[in-house]
Amino acid sequence: MNDQRLQSPAAARNRQPILEVLQAVLPVRARVLEVASGSGEHAVHFAGAMPGWTWQPSDPNPHARGSIEAWREHSGLANLHAPLALDVTTLCPAEQLDAMVAINLLHIAPWAVGEALLDCAGQRLPSGGVLFLYGPFTREGRHTSPSNAAFDADLRQRDPRFGIRDLATVAEAAAERDLVLERVVEMPANNLSLILRRA
């Protein structure tokens, strides 16, 4: 049988620090939708660590979904669901959620995707529900490191619609959808975790 499991060095490095932030802000029992799950390594790690979390991975890319499903089958975790073919610009799932998670998404997608994600969170999260965002961000229009500045330039060369987003821009767009920026956590490799909570 072909092993479709993809492996990401970045996911291997950041999955534990991200898990620790999620454990601090989510209840021990929660229904979580992960948007753009990529390889599926985060989903397996989080669902394995927290059996009370019902983890719903998703990705619009069929290659990524193949990897997620392969990781799911390999793990045998009952609380990790089969991946959804989800594009938040066209569909927001109707099921009840306690939290939404998007890791390393906003900078490698058009801002319209970020706005659609915020729309979905504003519509589907209950009062007190959490939208967790992770990745590089600028602060007051300034990069937090030279490596982030170089990364941003590379992203914009690949696609002018891509690029590292400013923290204030994200917070303002979230506030328009009743999502309050509750906490910003400094993470390894010049990344941030943003905790947005539904008012």
How confident is the model at residue 123, as a pLDDT? 95
How confident is the model at residue 95, as a pLDDT? 87
Q: Any idea which residue has 């965002």 for tokens?
A: 133
Give tens-digit pLDDT for 38-91: 999 999 999 999 999 999 999 999 999 999 999 999 999 999 999 999 999 999
Q: Poorest-confidence range of 49-53, 81-85, 93-97, 124-128?
A: 93-97
In DSSP terms, which residues pair with 100 in a beta bridge? Answer: 33, 131
Enter the CATH code of domain 9-33+40-86: 3.40.50.150
Examine the pLDDT at 1 and tell me if it is beyond 50. no
Higher-pLDDT residue of 2, 126: 126
Name the DSSP letter for residue 45. Answer: H
Domain boundaries, the chain: 9-33+40-86, 102-190
Express as a percent the part of the chain with pLDDT over 90.
97
How confident is the model at residue 96, as a pLDDT? 86
Please count the helices (runs of H) and the strands (runs of E) in the chain: 6, 8
The model carries a pTM of 0.97
Rounded Cα distance between 194 and 192, Å, is 6
Strands (E), the chain: 30-35, 53-56, 99-103, 130-135, 137-138, 165-166, 179-187, 191-198
Examine the pLDDT at 7 and tell me if it is beyond 70. yes
Sequence letter at residue 167: L
Give tens-digit pLDDT for 150-162: 999 999 999 999 9
